[in-house]
């Protein structure tokens, strides 16, 4: 039997749980900012068209309330969007020094924004206060860097899709350390920092999540977590986020969001989405007291979603999937700012979208599962 937490054919809506979620949402998140024009898809979703044609906004982070930064793959630039209190959006473009670099993912160290240049084979650093960008060439040629993260010690970690490596860049010394994964074809996509000096990465080419211990001996550096459920063949993961040393991942081919469950037969506790063929991909994890707020995107379904679970029991409090405006928005990445607003890149309509609290109508409650 599959270890799926929910079932599309049988879902119930316990009013007590919904009351708890609505109250918790209103208490834990600040009030919605007034004044912005909102889309027809939902009174809580606003779409801001990126003023650079066919720029393909891809990954996104927030550095403050109503302020987001994102990569523009087709425009070889980093973008910034700030929405004023009256709802007026302001876009700023910061082109990379290298043309046709295809900036892909980005992460903040507090002082800088670091990003990968997938076609430029470089790591970029942007200073938010000035917009100045510097680049560093990756030692391995044509490595196709994708996911990136910054650890508390200031080191920059990223994965190399074509080179089959997980790499570390030390900004202070200007040095690289590259860790080659011994099995070819990992097609590394995303990376996240764990505790105990470990790094997690998704390897969709091998249907695995990889944990790297860089300080171990070479023969003990990599641990493998297959992405599967009991009795089923493995499937590819996409994005990853880590908290409490437990990774969360999205599984596009299975319409699932998963939380690592070591010691179980399937390794994962799976949360099944309502809709089939959605291609669940983007992922952002927030810890809110005793709860996880797990945000995700569904490129093939044109939706963004919110999954709220209890941290220790891993039970679902609510699961809601929000249709986004546009004929084919293809939402890619998602983040949340200090106001609780979820921000989404929508390359299909060349837009950045804001999904503001309380996220859904009380008259159209999301289905929940109580255990």
In the structure, what pLDDT confidence band is assigned to residue 205 with cuts at 50, 70 and 90? very high
Q: Does pLDDT of 68 surpass 70? A: yes
% of the chain with per-residue pLDDT over 90: 81
Angle at 30 between CA 41 and CA 363, to 5 degrees: 40
CB 93 within 8 A of CB 368: no
In the predicted structure, residue 34 carries a pLDDT above the cut 60: no
Q: Which range is least confidently modeled, 11-15, 23-27, 272-276? A: 11-15
Is the pLDDT reported for residue 283 higher than 60? yes
Q: Which two tokens stand for residue 27?
A: 């208490």
pTM for the model: 0.88
Q: What is the predicted pLDDT for the residue at 41?
A: 57
Q: pLDDT at position 195, please?
A: 80
In whole angstroms, give the CA distance from residue 110 to residue 128. 10
Task: Give me the count of residues in the chain.
Answer: 371
Confidence of residue 371 (pLDDT cuts 50, 70, 90): very low
Residues 6+ apart with CB under 8 A from 160: 138, 140, 143, 144, 145, 146, 166, 167, 178, 188
Q: What is the pLDDT of residue 13?
A: 29
């Amino acid at each position: 039997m599959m270890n799926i937490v929910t079932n599309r054919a049988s879902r119930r809506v316990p009013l007590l749980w919904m009351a708890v979620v609505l109250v918790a949402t209103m208490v834990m998140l600040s009030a919605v900012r007034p004044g912005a024009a909102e889309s027809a898809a939902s009174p809580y979703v606003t779409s801001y068209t990126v003023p650079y044609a066919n720029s393909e906004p891809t990954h996104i982070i927030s550095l403050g309330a109503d302020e987001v930064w994102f990569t523009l793959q087709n425009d070889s630039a980093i973008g910034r969007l700030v929405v004023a209190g009256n709802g007026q959006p302001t876009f700023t473009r910061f082109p990379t020094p290298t043309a046709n670099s295809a900036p892909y993912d980005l992460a903040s160290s507090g002082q800088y924004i670091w990003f990968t240049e997938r076609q430029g084979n470089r790591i970029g650093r942007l200073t938010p206060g000035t917009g100045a960008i510097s680049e560093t060439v990756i030692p391995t040629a044509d490595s196709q860097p994708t996911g990136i993260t910054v650890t508390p010690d200031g080191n920059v970690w990223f994965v190399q899709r074509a080179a089959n490596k997980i790499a570390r860049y030390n900004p202070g010394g200007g040095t690289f350390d590259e860790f080659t994964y011994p099995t070819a074809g990992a097609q590394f996509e995303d990376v996240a920092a764990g505790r105990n000096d470990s790094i997690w990465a998704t390897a969709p080419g091998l249907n695995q999540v990889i944990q790297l211990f860089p300080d171990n001996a070479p023969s003990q550096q990599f641990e493998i977590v297959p992405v599967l459920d009991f009795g089923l063949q493995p499937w590819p993961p996409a994005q990853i986020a880590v908290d409490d040393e437990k990774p969360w991942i999205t599984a596009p081919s299975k319409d699932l969001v998963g939380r690592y469950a070591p010691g179980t037969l399937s390794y994962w506790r799976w949360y099944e989405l309502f809709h089939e063929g959605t291609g669940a991909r983007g992922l952002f994890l927030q810890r809110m007291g005793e709860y996880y707020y797990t945000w995700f995107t569904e490129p093939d379904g044109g939706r963004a979603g919110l999954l709220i679970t209890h941290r220790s029991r891993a039970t679902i409090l609510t699961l809601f999937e929000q249709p986004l405006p546009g004929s084919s928005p293809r939402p890619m990445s998602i983040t949340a700012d200090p106001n609780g607003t979820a921000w989404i890149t929508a390359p299909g309509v060349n837009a950045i979208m804001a999904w503001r609290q309380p996220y859904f109508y009380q008259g159209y409650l999301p289905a929940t599962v109580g255990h």
